[in-house]
A and B are shown apart, each in its own frame.
Chain A
Amino acid sequence: MATFIVRRVLWLVVVLFAVSVLVFLIFFATPGVDPARQMAGRNPTAETIKNIKHEFGLDRPLPVQYGLMMKHIFVSRDLISYGSHTKVIPEILSAAPVTLSLVFGAAVIWIVFSILTGLAAAVFRGTVIDPLLMILALIGISIPVFWLGEVVNLVTQSRLHGFFLFSWVPPLGYTPFTQDPLLWFEGLVFPWLTLSVLYIGFYARVLRANLIETENEDYVRTARAKGISERRVLLRHTLRTSMITFVSLFGLDFGVLVGGGALLTEVVFGLPGVGLLTYHSLTSLDLPVIMTTVIYGAFFITLASALVDLVYAWLDPRVRPA
């Protein structure tokens, strides 16, 4: 197990290095782009540009430029955004908890509801409940997040805000957990639900398909032949082995979302998370921010896939390292 972990950590480092080099080359070594000019802000003097060029080694060979850039990101942490002229790293660090809050909450909701839906559909196969649930799931998958988010906002923030069901919903925005846990929770309820709808539908369908496939496995028949109760067969045998695919999917989706993939939800609900940050930096071609958020995203995705492999090994002894 130790070698396995070491290997995954080394792998993480290699992937991060590769991603950072790639992103660096795309943004800084592309002909026709003068990063120094961009970094200097509006109407810079020749002097400022020269200073920046020197500071980031832009007049020196590419490997040195890359090294200096990494130093600004990871060591001195003083990379400056083109747009807001603030330091990028603290900005990302303050955005991360917002995204984490959003994604964690949504993940809990979508896991619970997708398992319930998937199980119910599989158990009630052959009745109307199964196709009904699956159509609902398909609708969930088909609704675009930005549209659903806007509709939710319209209902909870204006049209029915006066109605007792929605009167508690706070205005758009984010309240840190440390500041007011209740407000944090209330502000996130609808973003959570909105974000999880797509995943509930998707995961429920995947799980149902897996359950039905596993149902035909010989070892499920063996379990029945042992005289075990249907409930136990379903939970300990069918569901347990079906979770293997489920978990690998979950790890990757979770990584992508934490890494900034919840962008649309954050934009719609005005949550100042990493997605929103990426969104703004993309619209203004803010190279330092883009660079940093991409590396940040890659980190979470690789980390998630490493965790998936660990959980996978725990779920399935066949892939355990000998």
Chain B
Amino acid sequence: MSSQNGGPLLEAEHVFKYFPIKRGILIQREVAQVHAVDDVSLEVRRGETLGLVGESGCGKSTLGRCFVRLFPLTDGRIVFDGQDISKLSRRGMRPLRRELQIVFQDPYASLNPRKRVGSIVGAPLAIHGIGDRRERKRQVQELLEKVGLSPEHYNRFPHEFSGGQRQRIGVARALALRPKLVIADEPVSALDVSIQAQVINLLADLQEDFELTYVFIAHDLGVVRHVSDRIAVMYLGKIVELSPAEELYERPIMPYTEALLSAVPIPDPRESAGRERIVLEGDVPSPINPPSGCRFHPRCRYATEICSQLEPPLVDYGNGHLAACHHPLNVDKETLARATVDDRRTPAEADEAAKPTEPAQRAR
């Protein structure tokens, strides 16, 4: 871990992002809101990889985009490297864009088909006026080599590359400005498993070489566990569990995490046949009208009455493991007694009453 100053690289405090839905005759009125990110507090530590998992529509991509301020927040604060960036203007964000980069999911759609690889990767350099043309070309060719392409690819077009190679181009573009933080938004979901492994290994190598911090967004817990130091599980705009990667996998507290883990296919027929698979019923509910109380309760097999009435606060179970659940799994009595409501992360109205009344301890 490299740390010039002690604090986290990025801190999100009570971040809200709502998208308005408009309707009306001639004049459009706002009739509803999509609660894409709903009161999320999170920190990204220097040099770590923070995994962000959840199903489509859980707000993980939106949160990632909030981190790099691709759009204004509805409410909340984002502090990057000690500086509050949530209120910065477009112009004010400009110097910070060098430090915050994003890699997108679709390697086919995120590269301009009419531009050559050299100008795609070199664009950030040109925009920020770094070096002259020859210097930029040298830097781009160096980057291409770093991401496992060859310098001769400089003059090729994106369509001449396979999906995995395109994703390498996207990574090279993101790294051109030597950013501190890279948001990788489902960088491997569109790729074959064999190619996924290549890209994951590449990202790991680059993290060492460039001292990068990653926020890795994905829906596959297998991949996320492999790359992440810590993992945040999102459901309908909320963080429902946050934990060191291995611990999340050893003892998930939130039933949603348990279900996500059990959904990952295991390439071992005997084990696969033997394990209990929790198949979540139905789809994620609409983020326009999220369910009351715990948002997961309509799909949760442990849900009781309290779950539909009271929103569980994020509770710190020690060891950096936080979860928001009325019926925590894999938690023994002592831990439960020690558990405290993490006040920085919880809404003010969440109170002691929200804590589980009976120590529910279940074997996984």
**B-chain residues with CB within 8 Å of residue A125 when the two chains form the complex:** none
Chain B residue numbers with a CB within 8 Å of A10 are: 25-26
A11: chain B residues at CB < 8 Å are 26
Instruction: Report the Cα distance A7→B29, complex, angstroms.
Output: 14
Quick one: closest B residue to A3, CB to CB? B25
A225 is an interface residue with CB less than 8 A from chain B: no
Restricting to A46-77, which residues have a CB under 8 Å from any CB of B?
none
In the bound complex, residues from chain B placing their C-beta under 8 Å from that of A7 are: 25-26
User: Please, how many angstroms separate the alpha-carbon atoms of A7 and B24 in the complex?
Assistant: 9
| Interface set, chain B 99-129, CB cutoff 8 A to A | none
Compute how far the CA of A14 lies from the CA of B27 in the bound complex, rounded to whole angstroms: 13
Q: Is A128 an interface residue (CB 8 A)?
A: no
Q: Does A6 contact B (CB under 8 A)?
A: yes
Q: Which of B1-58 contact A (CB under 8 A)?
A: 25-26
Rounded to whole angstroms, the CA-CA distance of A3 and B26 in the bound complex is 10
Q: How far is the CA of A308 from the CA of B130 in the complex (A)?
A: 51
- Number of B positions contacting A (CB below 8 A): 2
Chain A residues with Cβ under 8 A from B25's Cβ? 3, 6-7, 10
CB distance from B282 to the nearest CB of A (A): 21
CA A7 to CA B23, docked complex, whole Å: 11
Q: How distant is the Cα of A11 from the Cα of B26 in the complex, in angstroms?
A: 7
Tell me the nearest residue of chain A to B26, going by C-beta: A10
A291 → B minimal CB distance (Å) = 26
A6 vs B24: C-alpha distance in the bound complex, in angstroms?
A: 11
In whole Å, how far is A9's beta carbon from the nearest beta carbon of chain B? 10
The smallest beta-carbon distance between B108 and chain A, in angstroms, is: 16
Write the nearest CB–CB distance from A322 to chain B, whole angstroms. Answer: 8
Contacts of B26 in A (CB 8 A): 7, 10-11, 14
For residue B334, give the distance in angstroms from its CB to the closest CB of chain A: 53
- Tell me the chain A residues, 1-42 only, with Cβ under 8 Å from chain B: 3, 6-7, 10-11, 14
Return B14 CB to nearest CB of chain A, in Å: 32
Q: How far is the CA of A11 from the CA of B25 in the complex (A)?
A: 9
By a CB distance below 8 angstroms, the chain B residues around A6 are 25
The distance in angstroms between the C-alpha atoms of A7 and B25, with both chains bound, is 5
Q: How far is the CB of A5 from chain B (nearest CB, A)?
A: 10
B194 to chain A, nearest CB (A): 25
Q: In residues 166-197 of chain A, which contact B (Cβ within 8 Å)? A: none
Chain B 319-352, CB-CB to A under 8 Å as 1, else 0, gives 0000000000000000000000000000000000
A14 to chain B: which residues have CB within 8 Å? Answer: 26
Measured CA separation A311–B25 after assembly (Å)? 19
Residue of B nearest to A321 (CB): B23
Alpha-carbon distance A7/B26, docked complex (angstroms) = 6
The residue on B at minimum CB distance from A11 is: B26
Q: Could you tell me the distance between the alpha carbons of A320 and B20 in the complex, rounded to whole angstroms?
A: 20
Determine the distance from Cα of A2 to Cα of B317 in the docked complex, in whole angstroms: 56
Q: Which chain B residue has the least Cβ–Cβ distance from A7?
A: B25
Q: Which residues on the B side are within 8 Å of A3 (C-beta)?
A: 25
Instruction: With both chains docked as a complex, state the minimum distance between the C-beta of A10 and any C-beta of chain B, in angstroms.
Output: 6
Roughly how many angstroms separate A7 CA and B27 CA in the complex, as a whole number?
10
Q: Which residue of B lies closest to A322 (CB)?
A: B23
Tell me the smallest distance from the CB of A39 to a CB of chain B, in Å. 36
CB distance from B298 to the nearest CB of A (A): 23
User: What 1/0 mask marks residues of chain A from 260 to 304 whose CB sits below 8 Å from any chain B CB?
Assistant: 000000000000000000000000000000000000000000000
Within the assembled complex, what's the spacing in Å between the Cα atoms of A14 and B26? 10
In the bound assembly, the distance between CA atoms of A251 and B47 in angstroms comes to 59
A7 to chain B, nearest CB (A): 5
Q: In the bound complex, how far is the Cα of B362 from the Cα of A264, in angstroms? A: 84
Minimum C-beta distance from A320 to chain B (A) = 14
Min CB distance B27 to A, Å, is 10
Q: How far is the CB of B288 from chain A (nearest CB, A)?
A: 12
- Least CB separation from B25: chain A residue: A7
Q: How far is the CB of B28 from chain A (nearest CB, A)?
A: 11
What is the distance, in angstroms, from B358's C-beta to the closest C-beta of chain A?
Answer: 44
* Chain B residue nearest in CB terms to A8: B25
C-alpha gap A6/B25 in the complex (Å): 8
Query: How far apart sit A202 and B26, CA to CA, in the bound complex (Å)?
Result: 34
- Min C-beta distance of A287 to chain B, whole Å: 32
Return A25 CB to nearest CB of chain B, in Å: 23
Complex Cα–Cα for A6 and B261 (A): 51
Nearest CB of chain B from residue A3's CB, rounded to whole Å: 6
The smallest beta-carbon distance between A181 and chain B, in angstroms, is 43
A14 CB to nearest B CB, Å: 8
Q: How far is the CA of A176 from the CA of B26 in the complex (A)?
A: 41
Q: Which 8 A-B pairs have the closest CB atoms?
A: A7-B25, A10-B26, A3-B25, A6-B25, A10-B25, A7-B26, A11-B26, A14-B26
**Chain A to chain B contacts (Cβ below 8 Å), 8 pairs:** A3-B25, A6-B25, A7-B25, A7-B26, A10-B25, A10-B26, A11-B26, A14-B26
- Known A-B contacts: A3-B25, A7-B26, A10-B26. Give 5 more (CB < 8 A): A6-B25, A7-B25, A10-B25, A11-B26, A14-B26
